[in-house]
Amino acid sequence: MKKSNIFWLFAFASFAFTILVIASLAFLFWQQLPPTDRALVVRLARQYIGYIFSAAVFLLAGLGFGLDWLFRLYILPLDKLAEETRLIHSVNPSHRIHLEGSRDIVRLVDIINEAADQYETLNNRLNSEIQRARAEADEEKNILAAVMAELPEGVLICNTEGQILLYNKRARRYLIGEIGSLESSDVSPGRFIGLGRSVFGVIDKHLIVHALDEIARKLKCEDTDIASYFVTMGADNRLLRVEAAPLLDHHRRFTGFILIFHDITLQMESGSQLNALLRSLGRGTRASLASIRAAIEAIIEYPKMDSGQLQKFEEIIHGETINIGRIIDEATSTHFGSLRSYWPLTQMNARDMLAATAKKAAETLNLEIQTEDVGEDLWLKVDSYAIISALTYVQKRLAQETGSRRLAYKMIREGRFVCFDITWEGKPIKPDTLRNWEDQVVTVNSQSLSSTLKEIIEQHAAEIWSHAYKDSRKAYLRLLLPVAESAENGRIRNLTILPKSRPEFFDFDLFSQPGQRPELDHRLLSELAYTVFDTETTGLNPQGGDEILSIGAVRIVNNRILHEECFDQLIDPRRQIPEESIRIHGILPEMVSGQPPIEKTLPSFHRFTEDTILVAHNAAFDMRMLQLKENLSGVQFSNPVLDTMLLSAAVQPGQKNHDMEGIAARLGISIVGRHTALGDALVTAEIFLKLVPLLEKQGITTLRQARTASRKTYYARLKY
Amino acid sequence: MGNKILIVDDEPSIIVPLQFLMEQNGYETMVAFSGEEAMETITSNPPDLILLDIMLPIIDGFEVCQRVRERPEWNHIRIIMITAMGSEANIAKGLALGADAYIAKPFSNAAVVEKVKELLQQKDEKK
């Protein structure tokens, strides 16, 4: 019950009791009096009724004021004091209490704040010790994580149930494309990969079962190669070759399996391109060659044929040679690009390449390098280590050959190429000298690459030559590199102005969600997996036609926010975005144009939230927005729902402010990215994780208890 | 007297028709089957134009072109690169090293004759 209600109940009871005592005393007194005295009392009472009434009113008013004073200065502050003290020692040691109350209460607050200062200092010291110890432990873990992340293969480790225990970025990219991107999920709609999720959501169960059976057989036969191999389709039409290997414990018992993914798309593509080229060349040229051969053999065999016949044969030969030329032209122009030997190249800014080459030449060769700014934003596709090493090697030879220690770099664009010129005062390098350099293995500082200069140049579809500048004493060595497509621009968000929080919505009944399951109800809050989400919308009226503009979500598994597993999707609302809402979320019409509509996004988001509890701040609003799209999208969000606003009200009933900023400030959470769906979802997730221990302190440990506590809160009883 | 044209290619089957074609158009022809042979011919009897294949053994067409352009007294020699390689980087390299034009194999006889005439005419105008 609310504290003020308790007060008024208490006040009423006090008044009633006082009146009852006075009335009882008056009755007993009345019974003792003889009839003459009773008449006197009645007469006196009638005569002085005004005084008696006033005395009664003053007595009751005095009692009321006394109680109110006691309540405001002692009872209410004590209650808040208890809440805020719990806040200090449980989640936010830097929180300090500011209360108005009696002198005794203020003194108590000062003492608690002083104790909090000491507690915070102690806590900080303890935390820094823990941090230090954890950092040391994390270092080794990070090395492993970095190695995993940078592995050229995708790696995914599962337990015997097929639950994912570990995966690296490349596995995620291979299997689902970019996280939260619906472009990739067009191919594999709504496939998600994440810790604790089932691997069968991304790879056909039969394939894995088959592989595990094969592994079991090999283990039984004590085969030396215990891996099993299969091919599957990944995201974006990738063809993946998967190597499955078992994980055994020290008793050689099967405890899980590891899947290693190799992308063989390009390999397969170039193979099939080569087949296609050979087929088209064979088919086209055979016919023409047959005609030419027949005509020529006829001419040789019958040298005396008449001139008319000879002319016909000549026309055939001429026509067919043109035809063969055309076939070769067509075949090479279609297949040439894909038949070039594949070498993994990455995009690099020309300016960066210039700077990196200059730095390396200065450091390793002690050369004096002058660079001229590129002037424009140029991108190259290079194997940066190989190409910079090659350029360093070339400069080493150049310095030896010309004796020049001062070189200048110039980079200019010429059509579809970038000319990287290394210039010096003097004569150009002779072609046979350059040819000799090209045939040598690239060696810098006695470290050799496995390729010759010529091979590196061929891998980059580049050319190299040396020449003299016209009308100048300078010569140059030019590396001609193809220009890459310009780098993709990141999404641009406009300036966001923070408004007040969205009004609380309660027209969605969070507590009667169809997905409540008894087995979940009794699980501990700290054990469950959650999807914490937020939506940005065109306005605050779900029924009035406002639409979702973006959904951001992040998962919590084992009390840890999985920052790598987030859902972040802009949505085309197919309606105008009001100016006032743009000021809040900064999402402009051009940012959502071309983005998927809600009916395409929700099925994917639905898969993302599978088997998790939904958490949102002011969840009723977001759930209402999702519920209104159930028919259109064909998916229903029936997961249990928790609301951080209601949970905060449950653990801190004395606090009036339960908006996101207020809670975050109390719990010592810094807000970043407010009013982006993903940013808000992340803040909500942090709030939720700090609320869980506070709930536990109040004996709220299970999902069911959390839902009951939410329902009881003052806010939960509001409906509008 | 007609202009002198040097045809450089390691494939006789292409030299024969090219030689025939040039002679039919009134040009005096010389032939070379390698880069070295081409340099010798140019030194002893500088031509007005070279039909130069890129893919030659040892000294390739790029190098021949470059060596020619290194000598100011040979500045008047027009060079047409003829190749089956045909990549854009190749063309860019050939032109940067001083070739005047570029023709890809297979070519039409008419296109070669036209290009030769055009370059020799430009040369005559410069005189």
Contact A514, A638 (CB under 8 A): yes
Instruction: Check residue B35 and give its pLDDT.
Output: 93
Q: Is A513 exposed, middle or buried (0-12, 13-18, 19+ CB in 10 A)?
A: middle
CB A548 within 8 A of CB A573: yes
Q: Give me the helix-helix angle, A619-627 and A644-651, nearest 10°.
A: 150
Which one-letter amino acid corresponds to residue A705? Q
Measured between beta carbons, which residues in chain B are less than 8 angstroms from residue A332? 86
Q: Which two tokens stand for residue A451?
A: 């390729």
> What does the block give as tokens for A8?
């008024």
The predicted pLDDT at position B20 comes to: 86
* Shortest CA gap B102–chain A (Å): 16
Question: Among B86, B90, B92, whose Cβ lies nearest the Cβ of A414?
Answer: B92
Answer yes or no: do B89 and A482 touch at CB < 8 A: yes
pLDDT of residue B21: 86
Model pLDDT for residues A25-41, shown as the tens digit of each residue: 989 988 888 888 888 88
Q: Tell me which chain B residues have a C-beta less than 8 angstroms from the C-beta of A482.
A: 89
The answer, yes or no, to whether ipTM is higher than 0.85 is no
Report d(CA A3, CA A216) in Å as an integer: 66
Model confidence, pTM: 0.44
CB-CB under 8 Å, B106 with A321: yes
- Tokens 């405890």 belong to A255
Q: Transcribe A350-390 into DSSP letters.
A: HHHHHHHHHHHHHHHH--EEEE----S--EEEE-HHHHHHH
Query: According to the model, what pLDDT value does residue A172 have?
Result: 85
Q: Which of the pair, A194 or B97, is modelled with greater confidence?
A: B97
Contact, A552 vs A533, CB < 8 A? yes
pLDDT score recorded for residue A337: 55
Q: Which residue from B minimizes the CA distance to A324?
A: B106
B33 three-class SS: coil
Task: Check if B84 contacts A (Cβ < 8 Å).
Answer: no
A417–B87 CB contact, under 8 Å: no
Mark yes or no for CB contact A465/B96 under 8 Å. Answer: yes
Question: Max CA-CA distance within chain A?
Answer: 172
DSSP string, A525-576: GGGS-EEEEEEEES-S-TTTT--EEEEEEEEEETTEEEEEEEEEEE-B-SSP
**A436 Cβ partners below 8 Å, 6+ apart?**
none
CA-nearest of A676, A679, A501, A497 to A591 is A676
Predicted local distance difference test score (pLDDT) of residue A334: 66
The reply to whether B95 touches chain A by the CB within 8 Å rule is no
Tell me what pLDDT residue A719 has. 39
Which residues of chain B make contact with A463, given a CB cutoff of 8 A? 89-90, 92-93
Closest chain B residue to the Cα of A337, Cα to Cα: B87
Q: Give the number of other CB atoms < 10 A from CB of residue A579.
A: 7
Cα–Cα distance, A430 to A260 (Å, whole number):
50
Alpha-carbon distance B26 to A243, whole Å? 70
Largest CA distance in chain B: 38
Could you state, in order of their start, the residue ranges of all structural domains in chain A? 3-103, 151-263, 268-339, 346-482, 510-717
B45: distance to nearest CA of chain A, Å? 23
Cross-chain residue pair B92–A462, CB shorter than 8 Å: no
Q: How confident is the model at residue B47 (pLDDT cuts 50, 70, 90)?
A: very high
Identify the pLDDT of residue B28: 95
Say which CATH class A510-717 falls into.
alpha beta
Q: Where are the alpha helices (DSSP H) in A419-496?
A: 431-439, 453-459
* CATH 3.50.50.60 for domain A151-263: no
Alpha carbons A659 and A710: distance in angstroms, whole number: 15
Shortest distance between the Cα of A286 and any Cα of chain B, in A, equals 18
For residue range B10-19, list pLDDT tens digits in order. 888 788 888 8
Beta-carbon separation of A328 and B88 below 8 A: no
From B60, which residue of chain A is nearest by alpha-carbon distance? A431
For residue B89, the model assigns a pLDDT of 83
Residue/partner pairs of A289-295 with CB below 8 Å, 24 or more apart: A289/A320, A289/A324, A291/A316, A291/A317, A291/A320, A292/A316, A292/A317, A292/A320, A292/A321, A295/A320
Residues of B in contact with A431 (CB under 8 A): 59, 62-63, 66-67
Low-confidence ranges of chain A (pLDDT < 70): 1-4, 178-191, 223, 283, 333-346, 485-517, 672-675, 714-720
Q: What Å distances lie between residue A664 and A92, A553, A688, CA to CA?
A: 10, 18, 10
Question: A330-377: per-residue pLDDT in tens?
Answer: 777 666 555 555 566 667 788 888 888 998 898 889 999 998 877 777
pLDDT for res A506: 47
Which residues of A are designated catalytic?
A: 675
Cβ-defined contact of B97 to A465 (cutoff 8 Å): yes
Specify the pLDDT at position A165. Answer: 82
Distance (Å) from the C-alpha of residue A430 to the closest C-alpha of chain B? 9
pLDDT at residue A181 in the model: 45
Going from the N-terminus, what domains does chain B have, and what CATH number goes with each? 4-126 (3.40.50.2300)
DSSP A606-628: HHHTTTSEEEETTHHHHHHHHHT
CATH topology for the A346-482 domain: Heat Shock Protein 90 (3.30.565)
For residue A665, the tally of other CB atoms under 10 A from its CB is 15
Closest CA to A480 of B70, B96, B98, B64: B96
- Please list the helix, strand and coil fractions of chain A in percent, rounded to the nearest 5, in that order: 55, 20, 30
